[in-house]
Structure formats: C-alpha cells, structure tokens
Structure 1
Amino acid sequence: MALKRPDHVLRLTRLSSQSRLNLLCAALTLLALILQQQYLGTDMLLSAGICAFFLALAILQQRALAPLHREIQALILHAQNLQDGSFNTSANQLRVHELKPLADSLNQMSAQLRSERATLYQRELLLDTVLQSSPTALLLTDAADTVLMSNPAARRLLHQGKAFDGSKLFSVATDKPELHKALTGRQQGLIRLDNAEQSVWHLSVSQFQLNQKLHWLYLLKPLTREIQREELNAWKKLLRVIGHELNNTLAPLSSLAFSGKAMADKQHLAALSQLFDTISERCLHLNQFVQAYIQFAKLPAPKLAPVNWPRLINQLQDQYDFELLGQLPVLQWQADPQQLTQLLLNILKNAHESGSAPEQISLRLLEQNTALTLCVQDGGGGIPDDVLQHVLVPFYTSKTTGSGIGLTLCRDIIEAHGGTISLRNNAGGLLVSLTLPRHDGF
C-alpha cells in the first residue's frame, strides 16, 4: 500500500526552483539567528550581518540562475510554437547553453515535422490535382447518403457541371435512370447510358470508417474509349486475316483472267475475251477495296512534326472548297502531316457528300494553351440521332456505295495523336470537332 504524502510536502514540491532556494535561504537565516541567540547571545549588529549575508546569497543565486531561466523560457516558447503548428522556428542557440541537448532535440523535431508537413502538403496537392483532372467520377457520402465531396467529372456526369455537395445522393442524376438506380442501389458493374458522350461506365462502391463514422466511396470510370479501342483492334486483326486470304485468292484469279483473255484474243473469241475483261475488272476493284481496308488495319503510329498550317490549308482547298473562319494557330503544334491531311480530307469529303452547298462548309481552328480544336461545319441537314450513334463503328455506313471506314479511320488517326473526335447536329448540318492535344516540348 503506497504511503500518502502530507499536504505540506505536496505544496513544497509544487514550488518553483527559485522559490525553493529562497525558502532555503530564509530557513538558513533563521537557523543562524537561533544558533547566535543560543551560543553568542543577543547582538544586533551580528544579527544584521547574518541577515545581510543570506540576503546577498539569495540575490547571487537568483542572478546565477537567471541564464538558466532564460534558456527555459526560450525552450518553452519553441515548444509553444510547435504546439501551434509553427515548425519554421528554432530554439535560440545564442541563449541556450546548459539545456543545449534539449534544444537540439527540439530543433530536430521541428525539422522532422516541417519535412513531414511539406511532404504531406505535396501529397495532398498531388491527390487534389489527380482528383480534379481525373476522368473518373468520384463521390464521397456519409452513412445518410449525403454527398460530402465530388470532383468535376462527377459534377459533369450527374449535375450538368454544377456543385451538389451537401445534397442527397438520390436527388441527383434523376435524368439518367440507369445511373440513378445503380448509385442509390450501390449496384457495382457496367452501366450503359444513352445519349451521353461516354456511354459505358463502370461503377465500384466501397465503404470505410473515417473519424469513427461510416462513409461510402463511389467511383465511376468511363470505359467507352477503352471498349472502342479494343473493338477497333479486334476489327483490325480480322481485316488483316481476311485481307491476307483474299490477296492469296485474287492474285491467281487475276493471273488466270489475264492468260485467259490472251488466249481468247488469239482465237478471236470476243465474247470470251469480254468475260475475262469483266473478271479482271472485278478482281482489280475487289483488290482496291481490300487494300483500303488493309491500309486502315495497318495504320502506322504517327510521326510527329511541327504543322505548317498555311501549307496544310492550301492542300485541303486544292481538293475541296470550304471557308476558313478565324485565324490560324499562333502556337506550334505537332502532328503527322500526312495523317492529319488525310483526316481532314475525309471529313471535308463527307461534308460535300452530305448535300451541303460548298459555301456552307467551314473550318475553324480554336486554339488554347493545352489543346487545339478543329471544327468542320456543313449545311447538309445533319444525321438522324439513331444513325449518329453508330457512325464511328467500323463498316457502318448509310451510303449505298460506302465502305464504312472513313470516319472510323478519322477516329483512329486522332486517337493515335492522343486526341478525340465528336459529331453532333448543329445549325442545320453536322459539326465535327477534332481535339488535338499539345505535346510536351512545344
């Protein structure tokens, strides 16, 4: 059983060091006066000398401890700065000598906290940058389904770009029934949205504890481009196989047709010669058709070079009539000149084949620091909505003589440059927008 200290002992332990020393001097003075009275008798002068001696001793010890007190005050100030989150200060080395090891420890602690805070700030800044620029829509809600945080991708997808933090989750995305149902029901998996720029999304939902409270995290990742890319790669592989087999068949057919025509001409068999001419013509036409698909399937990676815009515009206007709106880009942009020319020629060709008058076809280049948008507008009446959703699918065409690879090739070229293509009906015609990113170093 622990012994309890008397109250007067506890009060003494709570005194400061200076007060204890002063109390000790007073006790020694009293003891000296008692001894004087007992052995030397009453002598006022000696008593005054004893009191003066111990008073001087108290003053000297107080002055001797003053530097230590200043060191302690400096360290206390430093500790208070650390407590307030100010890690850029350090203990005053000019005033700290006796307690230098403690001051060094505090300085090391300050440096470590300063470094950790800088690292934490950089991580938070990086995380915020990633969240703000990520195409993945992020939603954080509490246990009551109140939205606590959303990034720009989530606001664009769910609320037309407007902030909705603080709202209930089931009150947003009401215009997208499939998405609304999946979010409120926490149904993980693929979601298909009609009439949206990104039509395929993947929803993942997870829960975790934050500050001892339940939270829900919703991640919506756009998969449209990935699926389209894989679909395009599959079509290209199929085209290469079919093209190889057709070429193996067309080559001997063309040779046999040529030999047969030569034999028919020698024997003056006009009908048979005409038949071989027809076979040769169809073989040639089929070969050209196959080569066009093979060219699409074997599109090489773009060889980037600075774009000469005046030269490019002149080459385009030599092939098709259109009106150039606005100014040419001022910044330097990189692209594969041949592929970019082919891309714009295909779009201008479609614009002329839409039935639009040449004076209604225009090209506008909208320049920003990070991206260049090329807009081709025609006046051909646009495309029906049910057709517009499929125009970028390989082999899909509404033309009786079309191959269905023109716009698919355009998408393949612009995506190989890291850009995007979009089509929408606008101003009585079709508006094709091509976004070309600005590459590093320019």
Structure 2
Amino acid sequence: MVEISPEPIIVHSEEILIFLNRAAIKLIGADSQEEMIGRSIFDFIHHDYHAIVKRRLLAVGDKDKDNYLEFVPIELIRIDGENIATEISSVEAFNFLGRAVIQSVIRDTSARKRNEELLERTEKLSTIGQLAAGVAHEIRNPLTALKGFTQLLKSKYSDPYFTIMLEELNRINLIVNEFMLLSKPSISDMKPNHIKILIDNVIILLQAQAISNSVLIVNEFTENMPPISCDPNQLKQVFINIIRNAIEAMPNGGNLTIHSEETPEKLFIRFIDQGNGIPKEQLAKLGQPFFTTKEKGTGLGLMVCYNIIEAHKGTMFIESEQGRGTTVNTIFPIQIS
C-alpha cells in the first residue's frame, strides 16, 4: 500500500534512507530507488532546515512523547538541484535493535504556495491600483500645464535647463501613465486572437534591440496554436515588457526562447532567457511597486503586466536562478468555439 500511495513516503533510520515509494522517487527526481538507498536524508533538505529536521527526528524517538509529528514546511532539493516547497510529517514505524525506523510523508506545496502568493499579489494590485489611479488623475492636469509652459519657454530661450526639465517631466508623465494602467486595464477589444501573431509583431518591433545586444530570439511554438480571447494591444504591451526585460538581462548576448504548449483548456507561453538570473531574495519582490533591478526602471512595468494578464483571466509567475537565467511563465484560458 505504501509503494502505490499517491503521497511521497520515505523510510529512514539514523538519517539514512532505506526505502522510497514511487511518488517520493518522482518528487525527488531520481531514476530508481537504488539511486537513493543509503544516502543521507540531509542530502535532499535545504541547509536552512537541517536544524529543525534534526530536532524533529530526535522527538520522534522520544518515548516520553507522542511519536507522531504534524506537518511542518521544509524546502527539498531535487536531484537536478531545483528547490521545491514541501511539508513533512514523521512517525516511528518500529524500533529495531534500539534504532528508530521512521516513516515520513512529504507533500509538494509549491503549487499551493504559488497560488497563495498570486492571491496576495492580486489583492495588493487592486489596492495599489485604486490609490494610484486617484493620485495619477490629480497629477495629470498640473503636469500638462507645466509641460506646456516649459515647452513655450524653451522655444523662446536657449537655456539647456529647459531641455532637462522637459526630459524629467516626460519621465513623470510615463510614471503617471503606468499609474493609470494599474487601476484597471482598459480591456475594450476582447476577441479571438492568435498569440503567435501578436508575439511575432512584438519581435519585429524589438529585433533591432535584440541584434544590438547579440540576442537571438528562438520561437518554439506548437503547430495550430489555438486562439485566445484577448485585447491584442494590451497583450502586446505585456509581451513588449517581458521580451525587452529578457533582452536587457543579456548584455553579453544569448538566446531568448519563447516556448508554447497547451492543454484542452489552457495555453502556456514561456519566455526563457540566458541572463545571470535573479537572486532569490529579489525574486519574491518582483511586481511590487517601485521595486526594480534596473538603474532607470520605475518598478511599475511588471505590476502592469500582472494586472493586464489578470484582467484576461490568466496568470503569470517568474522562475529564476542565479547563473541559469530567468523564465517568465504566462498562462491563458483557450478560446472555446
């Protein structure tokens, strides 16, 4: 029964693995049980969680306490080096010659954690968007007057300070426009569109920038990709932001691979670059207002992307590892005829 259980189960004694069921082998990314038997369980547990796991294993063998331990979150390290969020519960199965043989059940919580983060991000976007729209509306009118009078002064006087002032006013105007988009994207032209055509148009637009950065854009689209219901101009804005970020992340060149796949209900588009990747501590902050890794970024571009995709009933999440590049995942519901 343990062998065919859908939940990953491992059996270990004195921190050494002695059995893994099929689900556990799959979760850890191993090819066979023989590959894992005899190895320390700590080979596959992130070092930040070593101390808590050691304490729990001692508690399991404590005869004065209940030998069943509730689920606690830990981070596992797969064979391929990928870190995954899990939770683990342990119980002493039996005692052999004074050595506790422990059975642990592991649950992959990465999808649940991602959903919780998406929900939190959505709530944040809604609150910030409403506030931003109100502020932007109040700024726009005086900003227009300032820009107009500055242009008038520049036409009459040759002072270089007027050029600097106009550049900064244009930058403020850019931020105000992004604020307006945060409130609620204007999705007014929803109709069936082929994403491949939209992305091809964006690639043509950004091809010169890609060439100047020695970046090769590689399409890996499936044949007969189904259409989705969308506002093409809004999604173009999303794809321009994602592709431009990927190009700028590879100043020394590399490949940007755009990969698609689909299920009967969902269309997945992944943008995979070969840049330096994003540090883990920064990855969690992406999409937050005014957080940016760029010298001249506003930190609002990704927030706008999240908002537009959410308005299309889709989702977006980013995976990255330093030294291995970044993948931006976008998921859209397929237009059903």
Shorter-chain TM-score above 0.5: yes
- Aligned equivalent of 1:336, options 223, 230, 235: 230
3-state SS of paired residue (1:320): helix
The answer to whether 1:172 aligns with 2:30 is no
In the alignment, structure 1 segments of 5+ residues that lack a partner are 1-123
- The alignment of Structure 1 onto Structure 2 pairs a total of residues equal to 291
- Aligned equivalent of 1:236, options 111, 125, 128: 125
Q: What residue in structure 2 maps to residue 110 of structure 1?
A: none
Counterpart Cα distance in 1 of 2:317 and 2:261? 15
Paired residues for 1:108-257 under 5 Å:
138-139=8-9, 150=21, 152=23, 154-155=24-25, 157=27, 159-162=28-31, 164=33, 171-175=40-44, 176-179=46-49, 182=52, 185=56, 186=69, 188-191=71-74, 200-201=85-86, 203=87, 205=89, 217-222=105-110, 223-247=112-136, 249-250=138-139, 253-254=142-143, 257=146
Paired residues for 1:31-50 under 5 Å:
none
What's the TM-score, normalizing by structure 2?
0.58
Q: What residue in structure 2 maps to residue 348 of structure 1?
A: 243
3-state SS of paired residue (2:43): coil
Q: What residue in structure 2 maps to residue 434 of structure 1?
A: 329
Paired residues for 1:261-276 under 5 Å:
none
What are the superposed Cα offsets for residues 157-186 of structure 1, whole Å, 9 maximum, x if unpaired? 5x3344549988993352423455555614
Alpha-carbon distance change, 257 to 413 in structure 1, aligned in 2, over 3 angstroms: closer
Counterpart Cα distance in 2 of 1:413 and 1:191? 33
- Aligned equivalent of 1:365, options 251, 255, 259: 259
Q: What residue in structure 2 maps to residue 121 of structure 1?
A: none
The answer to which structure, 1 or 2, has the higher relative contact order (CA under 8 A, 6+ apart) is 2
3-state SS of paired residue (1:174): helix
The answer on whether the counterparts of 2:143 and 2:169 sit within 8 Å (CA) in structure 1 is: yes
Percentage of identical aligned residues: 15
**Shift of residue 356, structure 1, vs aligned partner:** 4.2
3-state SS of paired residue (1:352): helix
- Aligned equivalent of 2:314, options 404, 417, 421: 417
The answer on whether the counterparts of 2:77 and 2:84 sit within 8 Å (CA) in structure 1 is: yes
Q: What residue in structure 1 maps to residue 205 of structure 2?
A: 319
Q: If each structure's helix is expressed as a fraction of its own residues, which one has the higher value?
A: 1
Counterpart Cα distance in 1 of 2:131 and 2:303? 18
3-state SS of paired residue (1:434): strand
Q: If each structure's strand is expressed as a fraction of its own residues, which one has the higher value?
A: 2
**Shift of residue 319, structure 1, vs aligned partner:** 1.0
Counterpart Cα distance in 2 of 1:350 and 1:255? 29
Q: What residue in structure 1 maps to residue 59 of structure 2?
A: none
Q: What residue in structure 2 maps to residue 406 of structure 1?
A: 301
3-state SS of paired residue (1:403): coil
What's the TM-score, normalizing by structure 1?
0.47
The answer on whether the counterparts of 1:419 and 1:436 sit within 8 Å (CA) in structure 2 is: yes
In the alignment, structure 2 segments of 5+ residues that lack a partner are 57-68, 94-101, 208-215
Counterpart Cα distance in 1 of 2:193 and 2:169? 39
Counterpart Cα distance in 1 of 2:39 and 2:175? 53
Q: What residue in structure 2 maps to residue 392 of structure 1?
A: 286
What are the superposed Cα offsets for residues 315-349 of structure 1, whole Å, 9 maximum, x if unpaired? 12331115444565324253535354333221221
The answer on whether the counterparts of 1:334 and 1:438 sit within 8 Å (CA) in structure 2 is: yes
Q: CA RMSD in A?
A: 5.4
- Which has the greater radius of gyration? 1
The answer on whether the counterparts of 1:140 and 1:217 sit within 8 Å (CA) in structure 2 is: yes
3-state SS of paired residue (1:365): strand
What are the superposed Cα offsets for residues 364-401 of structure 1, whole Å, 9 maximum, x if unpaired? 4354656765454556x524646763573423322221
Moved more, 417-426 or 159-168: 159-168
**Shift of residue 292, structure 1, vs aligned partner:** 0.6
3-state SS of paired residue (2:297): coil
The answer on whether the counterparts of 2:125 and 2:307 sit within 8 Å (CA) in structure 1 is: no
Counterpart Cα distance in 2 of 1:220 and 1:430? 24
3-state SS of paired residue (1:396): coil
Q: What residue in structure 2 maps to residue 295 of structure 1?
A: 181
